[in-house]
Structure 1
């Protein structure tokens, strides 16, 4: 299993420059702790406390500040990018980082972002399919226009797709990309891990390539010295995110904090509690990558650093992970 850390680049204040700088510092900390992959999420519309619109600029800077950690997106919103230009950005960061780049793509985003870019949201699946094919061929040097520089090494096993259904999982397998599973499955009565385990099984059953596929399991994980301390750090961000989910009709109103944590499929508390919860996780046995994130919580910087330390030193080792030499 590889260990990852995903940031949505959010902060507690209004100083976005400081939010971005601190997100970079978390990449440095994760690199020093031995995390295998650092992930960023692309959001064109502002998130509470920040949001990252240009992930490849961010990852280029992270590449210069880190030594070993791999760099990826979960996700880049493919229909809102020109796939050749995106391939050029990916190839530049891959070259500068010494071949440490991976890329997760998907259709993501809401109608307002598609409208802002002049793209028909009703074509997002079609555009994702077309864009993915162009992106893959460009990274392989198989397009009429050859991008420069060419990536350091083969990208065939370094592309991921975020999916939200069994049909999406089968599509990802048919296109030969790795599978990214979101922190929670919304709109289902069943627990997230039960729903997503079906998707993972569908993906594996449909896979027909010679290489072994990867399954990335993104989870809201925030350890602290005890549950009370952990909840205090994530509660404000959680409540504000919950308001958005209620407004969209994804969550019912009037529930308690513990129930909203359950709906976000959260693992929050003492490291031993988190380990026990992840050991019961039904997707973990088939996952190759555990991708931890604090979102929708927005802890302060020191608490975030401490949580990364606990994940790398107590949580992940209890699940069988160790830093690569």
Structure 2
């Protein structure tokens, strides 16, 4: 299993400070032995930040780190020119010495699609069409040869975020790795039960010669106890919950504990988190555990301490060890 850290680039200070702090977290994660650093793309502002241009961010992170791989979860493909995106990805791949991967999807809402001149009603088709162009460009199969070419074969370095069993089968048919969100929204069943079905569908449909990867994203925030953890994450969780209620994804009037359950959150003392993750139904088939603090927005020191606890206590208890 590889260990990843995903940031939505949020913070409690100015936006410039938030971006600098997010870069520092990449450096810390690199030093702690995390295998992959992930960033999420958001064209509209999140509470405390949000990152619109992930490949510029990752180019800078490449210069500041030594070993950690660099990826997106996700790049919003229908709002990009896929050939230009392939050029950006390949430039960062060369600058980083071949450490780049890319996760793509159709995320974002109608307002962003309208602003970028894309048809929201065709987002799935646009994603499929863009993925084919992107893949061909990154694997050297396109009629137009991008320059520079990636450092090495890109066939097993493309990921796709999905939200259904049909999406999982499509990802397998298209030969991309599978990205599972931190939670499955709109279901009464627990997230891991819902997503385990999707993961099994993906593996059953996989027919490529190389081994597929399944990335399991989870909100993981360790601290000395639950009270300390909640003090750091509750404001961000409450703010995000209000948006989910407004969109009709969460019912109103529930407790904070219930909303954390709906976010499928793991928080508190490392031993509590280890015990909970050991019961996680998707983890046994996952190749990558991708930890994130979102929707919590801890302060910088608490975030660094949480990364240390994940790398030194939680992940090793689940069978992970840092690569030499």
| Alpha-carbon offset, residue 298 of structure 1 | 0.1
Aligned to 2:183: 184
Q: Spell out, residue by residue over 1:262-318, the C-alpha distance to the aligned partner (whole angstroms, 9 max, x if none).
A: 000000000000000100000001000000000000000000000000000000000
Distance 2:244 2:24 in 1: 30
Partner Cα distance (1:188, 1:32) in 2: 38
Structure 2: 5+ residue stretches without partners: none
- For 1:258, the equivalent position in structure 2 comes to 257
**Residues of 1 paired with 2:208 and 2:149: CA distance?**
24
Q: What's 2:149 paired with? A: 150
Task: Specify the SS of the correspondent of 1:280.
Answer: coil
For residues 131-180 of structure 1, give each alpha carbon's deviation from its aligned partner in whole angstroms, at most 9, with x where no partner exists: 00000100112212211100000000000000000000000000000000
CA distance in 2, matches of 1:257, 1:84: 44
For the pair 1:226 / 2:225, whether they are aligned, the reply is: yes
How far apart are the structure 2 equivalents of 1:143 and 1:178?
Answer: 21
Query: C-alpha separation between the residues in 1 aligned to 2:144 and 2:219?
Result: 41
Q: CA–CA distance in 2 between the matches of 1:203 and 1:84?
A: 27
The corresponding residue for 1:285 is: 284
Question: What is residue 48 of structure 1 aligned with on the other side?
Answer: 47
Task: Provide the C-alpha distance between the structure 2 equivalents of 1:81 and 1:90, rounded to a whole number of angstroms.
Answer: 12
Match of 2:12 in 1: 12
Q: 2:111 & 2:255 partners in 1: Cα distance? A: 31
CA distance in 1, matches of 2:133, 2:45: 28
* Distance (whole Å) between structure 1 residues aligned to residue 23 and residue 57 of structure 2: 8
Question: 2: distance between equivalents of 1:8 and 1:143?
Answer: 32
1:248, distance to aligned residue in structure 2 (A): 0.4
Is 1:105 aligned with 2:101?
Answer: no
Match of residue 202 from structure 2? 203
Within 2, Cα distance between the matches of 1:85 and 1:176? 21
Distance 1:132 1:120 in 2: 16
In structure 1, the partner of 2:163 is 164
Q: Distance in 2 between matches of 1:118 and 1:103?
A: 23
Aligned residues: 324
Q: CA deviation at 1:49?
A: 0.7
Structure 1 match to 2:193:
194
- Within 2, Cα distance between the matches of 1:55 and 1:276? 34
Query: Structure 1: 5+ residue runs without aligned partners?
Result: none
For residues 131 and 314 of structure 2, the distance between their equivalents in structure 1, rounded to whole angstroms, comes to: 35
Which aligned segments of 4 or more residues in structure 1 are displaced greater than 2 angstroms? none
CA RMSD of aligned residues (A): 0.4
Normalised by the size of structure 1, how large is the TM-score?
0.99
Equivalences for residues 81-96 of structure 1 within 5 A: 81-96=80-95
Secondary structure of 2:153's counterpart equals coil
Listed one character per residue, the Cα deviations across residues 116-139 of structure 1 (whole Å, up to 9, x for unaligned) are: 101110111001001000001001
